[in-house]
Chain A
Amino acid sequence: MKRKIGLSEIFLAAVMVFVVVVTLYPFVYMIAVSLSKDIYVLKGQVTLWPKGINFKVYNIVLQDPRIGKAYLNTIIYVVFGTAFSLFITSFGAYALSRKDMVLNRTFTLTIVFTMFFGGGMIPTFLVVNGLGLVDTRLGMILPTVVSTWNLIIMRTFFSGIPKELEESGKLDGLSDAGIFLRIVLPLSKAVVVTIGLFYAVGIWNNFYSALLYLRSSDLFPLQVVLRNIVLAGQVNSAKVTSVGHDALVVDESLKYATILVSTIPILLTYPFLQKYFVQGAMIGSIKG
């Protein structure tokens, strides 16, 4: 069939190109500025491509001890937090997916209720404080270890696994834990990866817990350090001026470089992991 390209097709394509540009341009711009020579940045001449490419600001950012430490902290939180979260969530979700568990319905309602009502910021803080978790690494992990949303996605997925498979395991004398570990889990690799990624990104981006529960700068994750440098403007100027040759380093380039350094793991892995994220959202939505 012959289709002529109508006005609406062109309009549609234009809107889509606009969406793509609006989404990506900020990143392109930040990369361009952070790689450009100071003089062009100050004149405001950098728009799309870096002018006078150099990596000076990245040297400064990567040598900043605060950023190195924060990176390490964030990685610790992400690795241990994701492991804990996945463990607790997957076991809990499997138990909830089993309708024959005693009190199943009560537990489900108990959990769903927390999506609509909660104690709020201060009472939660008081509980965390009372448990002695304030200003500890566990304080960054435990109060957010289970996300109700992720728990429900997993539960939904596990409920969709054919009961016959579990029954055959039962006949072979497996316990409930055995059925989960040997039959259900191997069938659920995709959902485990997806939920693991959701948790990992959530912890990587978590600023709230750090703001509320952390006090000492030794424990600060990347997000807090980033905020202190970029938003609160704590640029270590002594360090900047001591860089040498052309003494001036543009504050702007430095901040963009800091933003990029802390976002690069997400930007680089996103294209490859994207399908898992979408999968997660789909499990959550389609089955209804």
Chain B
Amino acid sequence: MVSINIDMSVIRIISQNYEILVFDEQNQKSGDCCGDMDGSYYKSESGTSIDERRMPMENSPAVPVQTDSPPMKVSWVKAFLKKLNRSKILLLMFLPCLLFYLIFKYLPMFGIVVSFKNYNLYKGIWDSPWVGLKYYKLFFHSPDFFKYLRNTFLLGFYKLIFGFPAPIILALLLNELKHIVFKRFVQTVSYLPHFISNVVVASMVLMFLSPSSGIVNHLIQLFGMQPINFMVKPEMFRGIYVLSEIWQHTGWETIIYLAALTTIDPLLYEAAEIDGAGRWKKLFHITLPGLVPTIVILFILNIGNVLDIGFEKVFLLYNPAIYETSDIISTYVYRTGLGQGNFSYATAIDLFTGLISFIFIYSANMISRKIGENSLW
């Protein structure tokens, strides 16, 4: 949830990076394993040994240890210590980063334990009594359980159905534009809303839809109809939310597709033209197949985010009159936890969402791996 504006939306583009990570790991694996003592660990991709490169500056030049030296275990520890000593400056540089992740990411994961306790702010986590699965049962048996699940799921589902194809379509259209200056202008304009804060977007939505002064209702009245009070109609909320998300992020999300489009070999188009393929033929037989790997990976990531829809936007847009459709798990968690101080119950609900998201992304990945060769891991 951190710095949500940028992260949650660009996280969809992470896929490519993820591939890089995996790729790196494979690279490393070849040199990894326990063969450290012969110095092979220090081989960089270029094939030169870092040992050699480092020699001039080390006090005790790293002599590659021959395999006839002491028992495996000892030399493994030795090699590790040597490596530790060598990367001590790098480790120091990494330390603040590591501390951040340990304190603000991993410590909260252990903090989930409060959902199994009757947490009391004054007693602290350790001294609060255990209650087992009480809060999970409470949530399952609460009459609102299905309401929250349905609202969260449907909101995410609609956003996926309507929000996911939007940038693909826009990117394909942009790709067809021949006029470079115009194309660049459209791109620049369409990225803009991504950098506007959720507070501003929500404010704009609420004011434009206002029954008395909003421009949308001015228009409706112009056509001789009665003004509509959009924000008190539960059936309107999902549409309004999804449209505002599309308005805000579609342009920005085209970037990754446009980047993928540039990697398609222009020779393919030339060949197709010679064979007499028209614009549509080229679109369906070259452009779209070229985009498929990107689309699949982004789709998997988006499915993983179905339940993880932005708390901020919903929180800013909703009001008690439309809780029926707009109250999602995260807003409920906020009200229960920070509003009423019921920390344990709120954590239990929150963990529930996290787990379902995890299952979603895992199964989406499994399915795509079964079907084709594109998957996250």
Question: How big is the A interface, by class?
Answer: 35 or more
Among residues of B, the one whose C-beta sits closest to the C-beta of A29 is B215
How far in angstroms is the closest Cβ of chain B from A283? 9
Q: Chain A interface mostly helix, strand, loop or mixed?
A: helix
Min CB gap A16→B, angstroms: 5
Complex: A104 Cα to B80 Cα, angstroms: 13
Q: Mark B164-183, 1 if CB is under 8 A from A, else 0.
A: 00000010011011000010
Is B375 an interface residue, CB under 8 A from the partner? Answer: no
Query: Is B42 a contact partner of A100 (Cβ separation < 8 A)?
Result: yes
In contact, A102 and B91 (Cβ under 8 angstroms): yes
Contact of B28 among A99, A150, A163, A262 (CB under 8 A): A99
Residue of B nearest to A199 (CB): B3
Nearest to A167 among chain B residues (CB) is B53
Chain A neighbourhood of B57, CB < 8 A: 170-171, 173
Residue from the set B2, B19, B354 with the largest chain A CB neighbour count within 10 Å: B2
Find out whether the CB atom of B186 lies under 8 angstroms from the CB atom of A20: yes
CB of B25 within 8 A of CB of A8, answer: no
**Closest beta carbon of chain A to B210's beta carbon, Å:** 8
B contacts with A, residue count (CB < 8 A): 119
Nearest CB on A from B79, distance (A): 10
Summed over the interface, the residue pairs from A and B with CB atoms below 8 Å come to a total of: 335
* Contact flag A227-B203 (CB < 8 Å), given A146-B101, A285-B13: yes
Give the residues in chain B near A88, CB-CB below 8 Å: 96-97, 100
Which residues of B pack against A, CB within 8 Å? 1-7, 10-11, 13-21, 24-25, 27-28, 32, 42, 44-46, 50, 53-54, 56-57, 80, 83-84, 86-87, 89-94, 96-98, 100-101, 103-112, 114, 125, 170, 173-174, 176-177, 182, 185-186, 188-193, 195-200, 202-204, 206-208, 210, 213, 215, 218, 247, 251-252, 255-256, 259-260, 262-263, 279, 304, 311-312, 315-316, 330, 333-334, 337-338, 343, 346-347, 350-351, 353-354, 358, 361
Closest 3 CB pairs of A and B: A119-B108, A288-B16, A92-B97
Can you give 26 A-B contacts (C-beta < 8 A)? A19-B170, A95-B94, A99-B28, A100-B87, A105-B25, A110-B106, A114-B101, A114-B106, A115-B11, A119-B106, A120-B112, A121-B337, A121-B338, A122-B337, A171-B53, A173-B56, A202-B5, A202-B6, A206-B3, A208-B4, A230-B203, A231-B206, A251-B213, A277-B191, A285-B255, A286-B262
